């Protein structure tokens, strides 16, 4: 946990020549020294925040580790119990003298009554919002009492769900809280309760800068236009000045005439000869340090610093001869998106930390990722996550946190959703890695394809009202928040845009192709189900054996062990993994469970290889492949390529070839060879194609001249290869492909004809 100094002088001096006698804006952290009590339980813990109850109970030795053994059911009571956080604190002298003092909770999970010195301030009901309250008149110098009372989460949610008519598909729909914590097909039901983000007091006189951020409107190597967004709050009418700079260069100097109140101001900033930010493997990731100062009568009242990168990003969604093209352009260059879906890194959300995120995202970068989709059933990632993505060149497809259900549509819910969206859009806008905003995960898919109308008994009127509510939120409120507070990021209402059972899912928009896992079709079907942008597909495997040993806590491991079942959250998961091992490795006789676990990973890797090869070799018809899922939120059997403890599965190792900038693939139907290049430069080289026996002895060789443009995908016919392979026992050979340019090896691949030998 980050410890903050109790008093941070925020606007002490903007530059060396500016003399500021006293800071105008001061902050006092209220993170330390809380008491957490469990009402009727005899629990009384000293805690710091950010933290959640589950974490504190574990850290105080009151519950077992929530990720190990078979403890889930023993821990479900926690979210159905009331909890109280209390803090006694003194107010720093500087702060108390300020004309304006605000109490700020950066995040409360989820329902809580907050009071100060016996006075009720507000009822929090959204995990994803900050809560701010003017407390100037309530504060005293000594012994203030801040109380945060969490009523029973489960009971509140249930009552509000039961009240909602027509019935909604999922209980979690009524709460603005991370959906995955209510149980998912890879997650236990750990509904966190607590103060999960920092708490502080902010004091200021006259005016302050609440927020400052910049977005790129247009940019090339000569000239960039950025829009600077400012949120200013001023207690008196007046003339103010805003100075924007980067390094020693002043970019803008503006006068603002502001009446008392809160203002969102927008103005352009120009940068000559900008260093453009590029996604991983398309170029460098230069970041600019921006500084914005708010001045009055030549005094600096407040200042903000932030980093940003300069790049343009476009979502192309336009009709073509087949349907609608769907792809992204960065700095005007079409980009083939390679990556995965990202889920929260922990079930206990306050255990997410920057070191682990850095490790995980480096592992993604090492496998040539240029994009992650932050899936809508989790939480909005921290600033750390986005800072890391900025520095590694990993673009983020960011879902709003809505997934797999229809939502309430009353005024209060929609207003809550609007505030949440605006805050999140503003928080993330400066990050060059933030690519687009998407309404959420599998909501329109569910509405049109999952039969809720029948299963929940909606009348025609109910259906209309629910759909109108959907339109308000996903077609109106969310895109409006993006347009107003960002103005550059594209908005895509739903991922996928069409359900995987519908033909249009392969000719337009993005598709979650789940026919293999959910439909139990063979891996080879991936070759036919290539969409314009495959934003989800996947197959399960067990995590690393060392991970299973950790969770087993001494229990003997086997496919049927209780602990293994407790860490498999998909109803058919164990059986389906087994089916595919038998289908693709019919002769394998694993000598023990450890070997069986490894086979599950080989099977997953084999299936994903078929999918990725099909997607990439279909470029530019297909312009993106994001598999399900990069990571795990706890140790679990799942679709991930990296397990909870950071172990790479076989699949992730293989991505180093499958996602490489140049992929060589053998078309098993006609034995042509694809050279698929995502390089920003042309290729002038030689493709050598060899057929080898399983000992590596070369039986056939042919060379082909390769001349290709940047970013091109081309299929080559290899003289004699087809005839040779047609007369060969394919189980006894593999094909070795190598692309060389001069003396250097650009790409290499070994292609086998069945799963067994790989
Ligand atoms: C996808 C995701 C998740 C789920 C996964 C595997 O569609 O959106 O909801 O965990 O399927 O079933």
Write down the pLDDT at residue 41.
81
- The response to whether residue 184 sits with its C-beta less than 6 Å from ligand 1 reads yes
Ligand 1 pocket residue status of 441, Cβ below 6 Å: yes
CA distance 677 to 662: 4
Cα 413 to Cα 748: distance, rounded to the nearest angstrom = 54
Question: Strands 34-37 and 299-308, how do they pair?
Answer: unpaired
Annotated domain spans of the chain: 25-202, 206-308, 336-399+496-658, 662-757
Residue 681 alpha carbon to ligand 1 centre in Å = 37
Q: Verify whether ligand 1 is closer than 6 Å to residue 296 (CB atom).
A: no
Task: Give the distance (Å) from ligand 1 centre to CA of residue 377.
Answer: 9
**Please, how many CA atoms are within 13 Å of residue 381, restricted to the half-sphere of its CB?**
29
Does any ligand 1 atom lie closer than 6 A to the CB of residue 445? no
CA of 107 to the centre of ligand 1 (A): 26
Closest atom of ligand 1 relative to the 404 alpha carbon:
9
Say if CB 403 and CB 462 are below 8 A apart.
Answer: no
Whether residue 424 contacts residue 385, with contact meaning beta carbons closer than 8 Å, is answered with no
Cα(604)–Cα(517) distance, integer angstroms: 11
Report pLDDT digits (tens) over 573-600. 999 999 999 999 999 999 999 999 999 9
Query: Does 206-308 match 336-399+496-658 in CATH topology?
Result: no
For residues 238-267, average pLDDT: 96
Q: Is 186 in the pocket of ligand 1 (CB under 6 A)?
A: yes
**Which among 439, 628, 630 is the best mutation to test ligand 1's pocket, defined by most ligand atoms within 8 Å of the CB?**
628
Report pLDDT for 10. 43
Split at pLDDT 50, 70, 90, the class of 714 is: very high
What's the 667 CA to ligand 1 centre distance in angstroms? 30
Decide: 628 in ligand 1 pocket, CB within 6 A: yes
Whether the CB-CB separation of 181 and 347 falls below 8 Å is answered with: yes
Tell whether ligand 1 has an atom less than 6 A from the beta carbon of residue 185: yes
pLDDT for 12 beyond 90: no
CB 512 less than 6 A from any atom of ligand 1? yes
Q: What percent of the chain has pLDDT over 90?
A: 95
- Ligand 1 centroid to residue 570 C-alpha, Å: 10
Q: Whose CA is nearest to atom 4 of ligand 1?
A: 185
DSSP string over 181-219: GG-BTTB------EE-S-EEEEEESSEEEEEEEEEEEEE
750 pLDDT exceeds 80?
yes
Which residues have C-beta within 8 Å of that of residue 34, sequence separation ≥ 6?
Answer: 46, 47, 48, 49, 85, 86, 87, 195
Q: Write the DSSP symbol of residue 349.
A: G
**Ligand 1 in contact with 734 (CB < 6 A)?**
no
Please tell me the distance between residue 266's alpha carbon and the centre of ligand 1 in angstroms. Answer: 39
Q: Which of 181, 183, 184, 185 to mutate to test the pocket of ligand 1 (most atoms within 8 A of CB)?
A: 185
Centre of ligand 1 to C-alpha 601, Å, is: 19
Q: Is 268 left (phi over 0), alpha (psi -120 to 50) or beta?
A: beta
Output the pLDDT for position 39.
Answer: 77
CATH 2.60.40.10 fits 662-757, yes or no: yes
Q: What is the pLDDT of residue 757?
A: 54
Phi-psi region of 233 (alpha: psi -120 to 50; beta: other; left: phi over 0): beta
Please tell me if the CB atom of residue 277 comes closer than 6 angstroms to any atom of ligand 1. no
- Residues near 649 by Cβ (< 8 Å), separated by ≥ 6? 541, 543, 544, 601, 604, 605, 640, 641, 642, 643
With a 6 A CB cut-off, is 281 part of the ligand 1 pocket?
A: no
Q: Residue 537 Cα, ligand 1 centroid: separation in angstroms?
A: 9
Q: Rounded to whole angstroms, how far apart are CA atoms 552 and 543? A: 13
pLDDT in tens, 439-453: 999 999 999 999 999
Query: What's the 514 CA to ligand 1 centre distance in angstroms?
Result: 9
Question: Is residue 558 over pLDDT 70?
Answer: yes
Predicted confidence (pLDDT) per residue in 647-675, tens digit: 999 999 999 999 999 999 999 999 999 99
Q: What mean pLDDT value characterizes the chain? A: 95
Per-residue pLDDT for 7 more than 90? no
Decide: 516 and 579 in contact? Cβ < 8 Å: no
Q: Is 373 in the pocket of ligand 1 (CB under 6 A)?
A: no
Cβ-based neighbours of 224, under 8 Å, separated by 6 or more: 216, 218, 270, 271, 274, 310
Of 264, 128, 215, 629, which is closest to residue 434 (Cα–Cα)? 215
Closest CA to 175 of 199, 200, 150: 150
- Ligand 1 centroid to Cα of residue 185, in Å, is 7
Nearest CA to ligand 1 atom 6: 185
CA of 399 to the centre of ligand 1 (A): 14
pLDDT band for 14, please (50, 70, 90 cuts): very low
Ligand 1 closest atom vs CA 185: 10
In the chain, pLDDT over 70 holds for what percent of residues? 97
Please answer whether residues 84 and 229 qualify as being in contact, where contact means their C-beta atoms are separated by less than 8 angstroms: no
Judge if the beta carbon of residue 536 lies within 6 A of ligand 1: yes
Over residues 17-61, the pLDDT tens digits come to 444 457 999 999 999 999 999 977 889 999 999 999 999 999 999
How far apart CA 734 and CA 694 sit, in angstroms, is 7
**CA of 350 relative to ligand 1 center, distance in Å:** 23
What confidence score (pLDDT) does residue 21 get? 58
| pLDDT for position 353 | 97
Residue whose CA is closest, atom 8 of ligand 1? 441
Predicted confidence at residue 756, as pLDDT, reads 67
User: Distances from the Cα of 273 to the Cαs of 219, 224, 255, in angstroms?
Assistant: 9, 8, 26
Does residue 442 have its Cβ closer than 6 Å to ligand 1?
yes
Task: Kindly state the DSSP code that residue 372 receives in the 8-state scheme.
Answer: E
Q: How far is the CA of 568 from the centre of ligand 1 (A)?
A: 14
Q: What is the DSSP letter of 538?
A: -
Residues 178-228 have pLDDT tens digits of 999 999 999 999 999 999 999 999 999 999 999 999 999 999 999 999 999
Please tell us whether the domain made up of 206-308 is placed in CATH 2.60.40.10. Answer: yes
**Ligand 1 geometric centre to CA of 180 (Å):** 10
Query: Residue whose CA is closest, atom 10 of ligand 1?
Result: 185
Domain covering 25-202: architecture: Sandwich (2.60)
Please identify, in words, the CATH class of the domain defined by 336-399+496-658.
alpha beta
Closest to 481 (Cα-Cα) out of 432, 438, 431, 425: 425
Q: Which tens digit of pLDDT belongs to each residue from 76-131? A: 999 999 999 999 999 999 999 999 999 999 999 999 999 999 999 999 999 999 99
Atom of ligand 1 nearest to the CA of 639: 6
Q: Which atom of ligand 1 is nearest to the CA of 186?
A: 10
Alpha carbon distance 382, 102 (integer Å):
23
* 379 C-alpha to ligand 1 centroid (Å): 15
State the distance from the centre of ligand 1 to the C-alpha of 509, rounded, in angstroms.
Answer: 18
The stretch 476-481 carries a mean pLDDT of 98
* Ligand 1, atom nearest to 512 Cα: 7
Each residue's pLDDT tens digit, 386-402: 999 999 999 999 999 99
Tokens read off for 23: 């800071």
> Around Cβ 656, how many Cβ atoms within 10 Å?
12
Tens of pLDDT, residue by residue over 316-364, are 999 999 999 999 999 999 999 999 999 999 999 999 999 999 999 999 9
| Residue 219: predicted pLDDT | 98
């Amino acid at each position: 946990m980050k410890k903050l100094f109790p008093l941070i002088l925020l606007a002490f001096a903007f530059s060396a020549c500016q003399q500021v006698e006293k800071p105008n804006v001061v902050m006092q952290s209220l993170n330390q020294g809380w008491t957490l009590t469990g009402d009727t339980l005899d629990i009384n813990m000293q805690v710091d925040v950010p933290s959640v109850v589950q974490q504190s109970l574990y850290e105080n030795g009151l519950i077992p580790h929530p990720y190990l053994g078979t403890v889930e059911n023993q821990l479900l009571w926690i979210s159905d119990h009331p909890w109280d956080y209390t803090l006694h604190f003194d107010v720093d002298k500087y702060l108390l003298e300020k004309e304006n003092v605000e109490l700020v909770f950066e995040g409360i999970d989820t329902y809580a009554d907050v009071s100060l010195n016996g006075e009720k301030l507000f009822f929090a009901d959204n995990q994803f919002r900050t809560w701010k309250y003017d407390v100037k008149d309530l504060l005293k110098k000594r012994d203030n009492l801040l109380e945060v009372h969490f009523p029973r989460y489960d009971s509140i949610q249930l009552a509000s769900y039961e009240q909602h008519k027509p019935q909604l598909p999922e209980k979690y729909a009524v709460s603005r809280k991370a959906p995955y914590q209510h149980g998912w097909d890879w997650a236990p039901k750990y509904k966190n309760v607590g103060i999960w983000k920092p708490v502080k007091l902010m004091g200021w006189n006259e005016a302050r800068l609440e927020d400052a951020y910049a977005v790129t409107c247009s940019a090339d190597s000569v000239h960039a236009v950025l829009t600077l967004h400012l949120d200013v709050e001023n207690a008196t009418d007046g003339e103010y000045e805003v100075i924007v700079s980067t390094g020693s260069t002043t970019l803008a100097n503006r006068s603002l005439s502001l009446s008392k109140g809160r203002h969102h101001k927008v103005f352009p900033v120009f940068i000559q000869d900008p260093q453009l930010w590029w996604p991983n493997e398309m170029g460098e990731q230069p970041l600019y340090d921006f500084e914005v100062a708010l001045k009055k009568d030549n005094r600096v009242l407040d200042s903000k610093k932030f980093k940003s990168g300069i790049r343009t990003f476009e979502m192309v969604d336009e009709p073509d001869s087949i349907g609608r093209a769907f792809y992204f352009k960065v700095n005007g260059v079409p980009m083939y998106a390679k990556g995965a879906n990202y889920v929260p890194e922990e079930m206990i959300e306050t255990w997410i930390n920057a070191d682990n995120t850095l490790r995980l995202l480096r592992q993604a970068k090492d496998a040539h990722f240029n994009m992650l989709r932050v899936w809508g059933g989790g939480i909005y990632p921290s600033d750390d996550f986005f800072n890391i993505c900025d520095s590694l060149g990993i673009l983020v497809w960011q879902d709003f946190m809505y997934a797999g259900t229809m939502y309430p549509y009353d005024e209060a819910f929609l207003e809550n959703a609007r505030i949440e969206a605006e805050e999140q859009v503003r928080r993330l806008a400066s990050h060059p890695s933030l690519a687009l905003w998407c309404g959420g995960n599998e909501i329109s898919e569910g509405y049109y394809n999952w039969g809720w109308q029948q299963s929940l008994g909606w009348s025609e009127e109910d259906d209309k009202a629910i759909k109108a509510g959907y339109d308000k939120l996903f077609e109106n409120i969310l895109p409006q928040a993006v347009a107003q507070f960002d103005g550059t990021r594209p908005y895509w209402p739903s991922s996928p845009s069409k359900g995987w059972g519908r033909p249009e899912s392969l000719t337009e928009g993005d598709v979650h192709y789940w026919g293999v896992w959910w439909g139990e079709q063979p891996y080879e079907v991936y070759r036919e189900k290539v969409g314009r942008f495959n934003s989800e597909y996947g197959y399960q495997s067990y995590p690393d054996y060392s991970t299973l040993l950790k969770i087993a806590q001494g229990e003997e491991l086997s496919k049927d062990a209780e602990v293994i079942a407790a860490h498999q959250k998909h109803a058919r998961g164990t059986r389906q993994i087994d089916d595919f091992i038998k289908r693709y490795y019919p002769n394998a006789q694993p000598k023990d469970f450890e070997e069986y676990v490894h086979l599950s990973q080989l099977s997953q890797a084999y299936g994903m290889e078929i999918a990725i090869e099909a997607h990439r070799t279909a470029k530019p018809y297909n312009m993106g492949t994001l598999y399900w899922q990069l990571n795990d939120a706890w140790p679990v059997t799942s679709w991930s390529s990296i397990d909870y403890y950071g172990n790479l599965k076989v699949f992730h190792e293989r991505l180093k070839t499958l996602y490489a900038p140049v992929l060589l693939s053998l078309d098993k139907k006609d034995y042509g060879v694809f050279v698929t290049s995502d390089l920003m430069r042309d290729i002038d080289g030689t493709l050598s194609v060899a057929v080898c026996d399983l000992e590596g002895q070369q039986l056939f060789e042919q060379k082909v001249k390769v001349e290709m443009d940047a970013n091109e995908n081309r299929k080559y016919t290899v003289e004699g290869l087809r005839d040779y392979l047609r007369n060969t026992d394919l189980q006894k050979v593999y094909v070795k492909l190598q692309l060389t340019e001069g003396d250097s090896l650009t790409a290499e691949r070994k292609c086998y004809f069945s799963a067994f030998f790989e």
